[in-house]
Amino acid sequence: MAKYRKLGRISDQRKALLRNQVTALIYNGKIKTTEARAKEIRKIAEGLVAMAVKEKDNFETVKVTAKVARKDANGKRVKEVVDGKKVTVYDEVEKEIKKDLPSRLHARRQMLKVLYGVTEVPAQAAGRKRNTKSADLVAKLFDEIAPKYTSRSGGYTRIVKIGQRKGDGAMEVLIEFV
Q: Are 108 and 98 within 8 A, CB to CB?
A: no
Note the pLDDT tens digit of each residue in 62-107.
999 999 999 988 888 999 988 889 999 999 999 999 999 999 999 9
Q: Are 171 and 164 within 8 A, CB to CB?
A: yes
For the entire predicted model, the pTM comes to 0.84
Note the pLDDT tens digit of each residue in 114-163.
999 999 877 776 556 677 889 999 999 999 999 999 999 999 999 999 99
Looking at the DSSP bridge assignments, the partners of residue 175 are 31, 159
CATH for 148: 3.90.1030.10
Q: How many independent structural domains does the chain possess?
A: 2
Domain around 93: 59-100
Rounded Cα–Cα distance for residues 121 and 140 (Å)? 18
